[in-house]
Structure 1
């Protein structure tokens, strides 16, 4: 099922999807006071994060995460067609290297031999051992830090974080959790939280606000930003370590 490549990937043989190993560890999940203080010094174009937004990322807590594999980037149109040959994507504009934006993701999830990451796993992978607002530091990212097409290997490699995961936060990655207000009483491990009759959580989505208009789309790149599934989402699957 898996093969190890010379470049350090785990390749799913049947589909060709490349995965990176995410090591086990513990991290502080949520928007910390230090991060909020940094945000306070940023001039926002469109109001920034509201008090309600901040409350959804709190209280900050330590979370223990076991090691796992995560896809190097969200599944592209071509990769989704491995499982759904008839899949069409109006957002891809004919480019099979573009990330697949799924309006009805359950159809794909039923076919995948993988699972969705939990919120905790996604945020841990996005932070990749860093403690700034995002993996490159505290300076607000720009449009050049967002990637939603994966035909240019140099661009993909340049977008990788310290765990080797590309374009984290660029597109709206679907998580296993359903949306629950804040983290009160949340577990100290990376299990997903599930509530009845609730939409799933989505993380990231900066590229989905195309064209980049300078109205704080970069906030979607923050590892702690979370919201409910809306019109569509991308899928960045995870799997157990081989």
Structure 2
């Protein structure tokens, strides 16, 4: 089912049947959520004149990603980038995408989402796993630091291997924050009472979505860059990308 190889100079696992490339995430602990230091970094961007619209809605909703807490993560595999249109067609041959400009573009699923999730031999990441993977050992606004992320950080087409490799974080993942990516957790505002491990929060209702800055491209000057932040989270309403997760393969796989 799996073959181990090197992709862009880093170890990877390729799912043989579909060709989807996964990276192995190391286990560890991290501080999950929107920290006061990150909020201050956002305010510093505002003070420097880097805000196009107003931060009031973002600041008012900051509690949706708080309080911060230490979370323990076990090793796992996660796809190098969200599934592309071509990759989705491995499981849903009739899949058509109204948003991607090419088969190498990230798939944004709407009515086909449940069908894909049922067909996948993988699972969705929990919020904790997604944020851990996005941060890649950092505690800044994005894995690139506390500066204001720009449109150059967007990546939702993975047909250019050189560009994809250049966009990877320290864990070898590309496009984190660009496309909205659905998680396994049900949407609950804030992290009060959330588990200290990577288990998703269960319940009825919509799931959590992470990222999405490229879904609004070209940007209209409404501070869409905030969706690139590692801690940004919101409720799934419309289309979404899928970045699947799997257990670490055994060496005999």
What's the TM-score, normalizing by structure 2?
Answer: 0.93
- Picking from 14, 17, 21, the partner of 1:14 is 17
Q: After the TM superposition, which parts of structure 1 deviate over 2 Å for at least 4 consecutive aligned residues?
A: 48-52, 212-215
Gaps of 5+ in 2: none
Helix, strand or coil at the partner of 1:110 = helix
C-alpha distance in 2 between matches for 1:159 and 1:40: 26
C-alpha distance in 2 between matches for 1:199 and 1:23: 29
Give yes or no for the alignment of 1:63 onto 2:71: yes
Please report how far the alpha carbon of residue 52 of structure 1 lies from its aligned counterpart in structure 2 after TM superposition.
3.3
C-alpha distance in 1 between matches for 2:71 and 2:118: 29
Structure 2 equivalent of residue 27 of structure 1? 30
Encode CA deviations 1:79-127: one digit per residue, 9 max, x unaligned: 000000000001123x100100000311100000000000000000000
Gaps of 5+ in 1: none
Structure 1 equivalent of residue 235 of structure 2? 228
CA RMSD of aligned residues (A): 1.0
Helix, strand or coil at the partner of 2:66 = coil
Aligned residue-pair number: 240
Structure 1 equivalent of residue 89 of structure 2? 81
C-alpha distance in 2 between matches for 1:34 and 1:113: 39
- Contact kept in structure 2, 1:180 and 1:195, CA below 8 Å: no
C-alpha distance in 2 between matches for 1:241 and 1:164: 16
C-alpha distance in 1 between matches for 2:246 and 2:24: 10
What's the TM-score, normalizing by structure 1?
Answer: 0.97
